Structure 1
């Protein structure tokens, strides 16, 4: 059985990264089919906050990619058909505050400025002017005017709409099983539960399930799930104007610890709700709601914005983020199998990094000069190809491919 579809590239995974890659490829004239075992944008993307950040990354390859992606996002949005929904893009800026010794935060900002980030050290009085409801325990702040936000599900579905408008196809409810290869070993198709899609390349954009699919495809990489939780308040009048987080957040982003880590992140949405995060925990694909995690998020958020102590929480949600052991995305061709590509491992930065990831995949696929150095993200680096550590039982029983 064979689906009546031929494509240059089949993208496995219809989350924000897969959608951005598919849109960029399609815009460049590449024939694209996107498949996902569930609904588009229904996995990790649906559990995201929509952050487009340069403020939370240390100088290095990921920050370079983030800077490039922040510049790329407006160009991507400008390509979208006029008929697609508003993706709620907001160039709101970010504010990072310290409530203890301000020197580490100021040193971090200085290093970022040398890397090209607009990081403005401000006084506590300046911080209170930006965010009047902040705790008065703030000792220093850094304002990042380049930080932005969008609604991730709307963005992913808009990107996929652009793929369809460009002649591509998006197939929900189609599970990728493995790749079909020629006698010479190159990719000639994708095996799915609905048959074979003939193609010259397969892009693994399965997010936290990318490790599982990569094994099925014959090119295993180490990508692990790392769970995060978010609290959502009832709708409020305007109360938080920027994305605001404490200085601990940067350390949590860069940490590889498996145990629970929480840091305060507070931001409003266009609908008036306030999102409260963030947590990181390597527990496989265990989706049990842990009340202690939610309590810790609430406690720290109240410490940053005391008024939140009187605000009802409407709901909580969580998701699994694709974690690579060296904290860098995996972007590019798999040198072991001609025609197998990967775009995964962005962890909690996938929304922000998606635009440049799509552009970089397209440049590499077409042999164009890349707009950022692709070497740090290459598939054949030791941290990605080394054997994965043992995971909890839940990780072995609840996973799968997109």
Structure 2
């Protein structure tokens, strides 16, 4: 059978971990790819986040099912891309320090196990056998062996390098100014370096998605949710898996954060070099990049509450990142019905790292009209259509 994808040309907007993944998986199908970014690879959210591929932090249902498939793809990604991505399947813990959160966690774990994720509850003593540095205040934790970690910046660069090897064209420092359409059909994009014509365009712009969509009078409910991460001095090995607190999961899912100021909860991991990445906070403050001293102190207190040994270590810096939040905490994936050939893969919030490979794979299959063995309807823009598209 003749391969009709050979002549297809696709512009991918956004060179974060989602956009580079989409570009890579499309490039494997002999599609002519142009990857465009206003700045550089991983210069936005993907360069200002942690490294967790957490499954047990996902709500049971389509999002968790998607994450499980993505985690499977990650296992062979280093070999496939021929790059060191600092991938490690070391498991993950969600720490509990009160009985109320423990009851909620027990219900969550039961539902996660029902759809095939292997999660179990550990007692405080059992979790301290895994990590003796943990505080006596931790009364329980959930443990998932399938949780893993990866360096998101290395991964985005590796995706882009592999796509380029497959003849994809990279246009960096090239801002998209307008979507070029005719009769409700995408024709390409207008950039600061001229027009790029294409059969399809995929918007992978995260928190900047609406800046692109407004050129065709569209809007989606993706807004920036700021998070702060602290970086410590290099330390001996203290943490060998991803660790979250129960309060961090609550703050992730809350629409109203009055009960948890600044949405603060613990998310901590240790890098290959020995530094700790300690988060985090979740705020709706637009694109305000400022960092309040109080937030730094409150995040540090959360870390010390779980790991008393961190009381006297040095922080070397802090940074803010903007997560693309949606009201139901799930990304928007698929074609935009009102503009033929225009696709969107955005709104992953803090799950962009975990969902990057499966997002690229599914979007590449969708755009090239191949059979997709996953129901994308829960992620369709149509769930927001009535309230967001004018």
- TM bin, normalised by shorter chain, reads over 0.9
**Where do residues 219-258 of structure 1 align in structure 2 (5 Å cutoff)?**
219-257=218-256
Q: CA deviation at 1:116?
A: 1.2
Counterpart of 1:317 in 2: which secondary structure? strand
Which stretches of structure 1, 4 residues or longer, exceed 4 Å deviation after superposition?
none
**Where do residues 213-224 of structure 1 align in structure 2 (5 Å cutoff)?**
213-224=212-223
Tell me, yes or no, if the aligned pair for 2:176 and 2:191 is still in contact at 8 Å.
yes
Aligned to 2:79: 78
Counterpart of 1:203 in 2: which secondary structure? strand
CA RMSD of aligned residues (A): 1.6
Shifted more, 303-312 versus 218-227: the winner is 218-227
The 1-side partners of 2:204 and 2:257 are apart by: 23
The 2-side partners of 1:8 and 1:53 are apart by: 34
Counterpart of 2:133 in 1: which secondary structure? coil
Aligned to 1:353: 355
Q: CA deviation at 1:372?
A: 2.1
Counterpart of 1:381 in 2: which secondary structure? helix
The 2-side partners of 1:352 and 1:67 are apart by: 9
Aligned to 1:302: 304
Alignment partner for residue 91 of structure 1, among 89, 92, 95? 89
Tell me, yes or no, if the aligned pair for 1:7 and 1:198 is still in contact at 8 Å.
no
Q: CA deviation at 1:220?
A: 2.4
Tell me, yes or no, if the aligned pair for 1:228 and 1:281 is still in contact at 8 Å.
yes
**Where do residues 135-284 of structure 1 align in structure 2 (5 Å cutoff)?**
135-182=135-182, 184-257=183-256, 260-284=262-286
Aligned to 1:336: 338
The 1-side partners of 2:32 and 2:90 are apart by: 36
Shifted more, 300-309 versus 368-377: the winner is 368-377
Does residue 13 (structure 1) correspond to residue 1 (structure 2)? The answer is: no
Shifted more, 109-118 versus 228-237: the winner is 109-118
**Where do residues 379-394 of structure 1 align in structure 2 (5 Å cutoff)?**
379-382=381-384, 386-387=387-388
Tell me, yes or no, if the aligned pair for 2:95 and 2:245 is still in contact at 8 Å.
yes
Counterpart of 1:341 in 2: which secondary structure? strand
Q: CA deviation at 1:193?
A: 0.9
Q: CA deviation at 1:218?
A: 3.9
Query: Which stretches in structure 2 are left out of the alignment for 5+ residues?
Result: 1-6
The 1-side partners of 2:184 and 2:279 are apart by: 45
1:370-389 deviation per Cα after TM superposition (whole angstroms, max 9, x unaligned) = 2321001101212x65249x
1:259-296 deviation per Cα after TM superposition (whole angstroms, max 9, x unaligned) = 62011111111110011111100000011111111111
Query: Which stretches in structure 1 are left out of the alignment for 5+ residues?
Result: 1-5, 389-402
Counterpart of 2:227 in 1: which secondary structure? strand
Aligned to 2:133: 133
The 2-side partners of 1:372 and 1:49 are apart by: 27
Tell me, yes or no, if the aligned pair for 1:258 and 1:283 is still in contact at 8 Å.
no
The 2-side partners of 1:62 and 1:13 are apart by: 22
The 2-side partners of 1:185 and 1:265 are apart by: 44
Question: Aligned in 2, Cα 1:217/1:166: closer, same or farther, shift over 3 Å?
Answer: farther
Aligned to 2:32: 31
The 1-side partners of 2:234 and 2:77 are apart by: 30
